[in-house]
Amino acid sequence: MRLSRKKLWGQMETTALVPTTLEIKNVDLGDFKVQLPIPHLCVLLREREMGNYRVCMCFTRKFRGTEAKPPEDVQEAFRKYAEGGTHMTADQLRRFLVEAQGEAEDAATAAEAETIVQQILQKRHHIAKFTRHALTLDDFHHYLFSADLNSPIHNKIHQDMRAPLSHYFIFTGHNSYLTGNQLTSDCSEVPIIKALKKGVRVIELDIWPNSTKDDVHVLHGRTVTAPVELNRCLKSIREHAFSASPYPVVITLEDHLTPDLQAKVAQMLSQTFGKMLFYPESDCLKEFPSPEDLKHRIIISTKPPKEYLEAQTIRDNEHNSQRGKDSDEDVWGNEPSSLTADQEDEDKSDDETTDANQNCDDDDDSDSRSREAPEYKRLIAIHAGKPKGGMKEALKIEPGKVRRLSLSEQALEKAAESLGTDIVRFTQKNILRVYPKGTRFNSSNYKPQIGWLHGAQMIAFNMQGYGRSLWLMQGMFRANGGCGYVKKPDILMNTDSDNKVFDPKAKLPVKKTLKVKVYMGDGWHMDFKQTHFDLYSPPDFYTRVGIAGAPADEIMKKTKAKEDNWTPVWDEEFTFPLTVPELALLRIEVHEYDMSEKDDFAGQTCLPVSELRPGIRAVPLCDRKGERYNSVRLLMRFDIL
């Protein structure tokens, strides 16, 4: 790291430790030169005391580590609801929760307020809890800054779960068995387990005959990925399917098997899942069951086996012929460094790839079958398949029948240009799955908003890749208690008097306005080493806040950087007009400013605007993978007008 003049000499006390008897030599420290004794060259130590940094044992930098006081809005709220007193009672806290925080009367009961008071006192004052039953200003501030007690969104399932599956966005994985990149990584049950524990509800398995054609392996076809046995994957799904959510797990099978192996897979599925396995009542469902009806059930989705010998007449060439713009760069800017599972170039042109390396999705026609496997066919609840003909034909609604259609991200972008309302109408009854383009070798992902705006239920994501797109996906599925099913907004399900549906391309008026105030941040000094962000001084944090959603709503803004402070206080407010608030996500990122290098990543989160709880809230931040930090959080206020 180059040492900037601001970093070395900014607001510090400097103690010279250079002995006059030692030989002195000029040393280049980047922006300027200093004289150091030769025995101390290339030695860099730091003192362990908070706020003291030592440079080459010749300068000691001391920073005042003052604790940030409660923001003025917090102080004002305390004065108001404590009625000018020095302590806030449980009843006064209850009034604050209802009137200022927008909590429902039946949720913010006297008993609930009393519980909060006792929890705060027990945590902060082990002795005082026996002598008093009210909060001081600092106690009140501590409560507001607690991510566990004062979270920004609801953490319980609260949506209607009795509608058909097609009425929900579903947390969906792509090539769920891969441990890393799409070409050379190992296949394993471990990433499947990780995905299920994070709430993913759709697991994709590519099934192929093994080398001796007598068993079934899971692997990414036409690559050199090391296979894993299908049985291991199925047993892992059985054991972990409902560890994060009681709602159904869908297994999408990309089937490349012969009929006899299909029959073997049917036997494996039946023996592994038993009564957990959902058997459809008829060959074709007229309407999908609801998540509530399918609690703790496993659902199979794939193409039905061919019933007659049929030559392959149509090849899906979406990977080569349907290319859309790469949506990795947007108003949010370039991805922070080190965000993907591998460091391969994801901006490689589609023209640099060949058919052999393309992702072979489950809707691509595989080898023809000369006979059907009835046991296998009977297990398929969600039928996949693409009718012959163009996209207009594929999006036709078939009376008395529901199905699943899969499109690549490029195919969706192309169809959305002229068939946007057809897609929305199709997804009101049927399921649309969108999968990544074949050139995402490093398991990167695409922006999911275009799919959500058109009602696509299954936006298939590489859960082993990282980056802003995955952060958005994780943010969407923090909604509804993180159960993996989020009910689509009414705008995507309704038709007007003229039988028209929502048009994603229509220019709409502002429906709501979100006001966000960023007060302060804390916790980095607990979760990071003192020199993690800068070797010579405390970090210079700033926060980026913005909206991901409809194109008209997408924007980013940022606070000023606060220099040399582990507990930055910004106290800045931002306003976001929203035309489609139902699908808007609030994106929050914190970075550490670096004058001479790329800014350092310091945390992120993404929250559904429709789930935001108004008032002053503690917002926990996550790392690049979406794992929550132990201590890092922001104090913010949300108002939806």
Residues labelled as active-site residues: 174, 220
Which residue type, as a one-letter code, is found at position 409?
Answer: E
Paired sense of beta strands 458-461 and 168-173, if any = parallel
Full DSSP string of 20-51:
TTS-EEEEE-BSSEEEEEGGGTT-----SSTT
Looking at residue 3, the DSSP 8-state letter turns out to be: B
Residue 318's closest CA among 430, 438, 419?
438
DSSP per-residue string spanning 509-538:
---EEEEEEEEEEE-HHHHS-TTSS-SSS-
Q: Which helix (H) or strand (E) holds 68?
A: none
Non-local CB neighbours of 486 within 8 Å, separated by 6+ positions: 159, 168, 169, 476, 477, 479, 480, 608
Q: H helices of 296-436, where?
A: 318-321, 374-379, 391-394, 409-429
C-alpha dist (Å) from residue 447 to 257, 326, 473:
33, 9, 9
Torsion of CA 43, 44, 47, 53, to 10 degrees: 130
* Burial (Cβ within 10 Å: 0-12, 13-18, ≥19) of residue 347: exposed
Q: Distance between alpha carbon 184 and the CA centroid of its chain, in Å?
A: 25
Calpha distance 128→153 (Å, rounded)? 31
Rg of the chain, C-alpha, whole Å: 28
Neighbours of 477 (CB within 10 A): 25
Structure tokens at 441: 């070798």
What is the β-pairing status of strands 249-255 and 202-209? parallel
| Residues 432 and 172 sit within 8 Å (Cβ to Cβ) | no
Contact between 382 and 299 (Cβ < 8 Å): yes
Query: Which residues make beta-bridge pairs with 302?
Result: 383
- Neighbouring CB atoms inside 10 A of 482's CB total 18
Cβ atoms of residues 402 and 432 within 8 Å:
no
- CA 360-364-367 angle, to 5 degrees, is 95
Q: Which amino acid is at 589?
A: E
Phi, psi of 604 (to 5 degrees): -155, 160
Single-letter amino acid, residue 415: A
Closest CA to 314 of 262, 278, 271, 366: 366
Task: Show the tokens assigned to 555.
Answer: 């924007």
Angle ∠(195,200,203) on CA atoms, nearest 5:
80
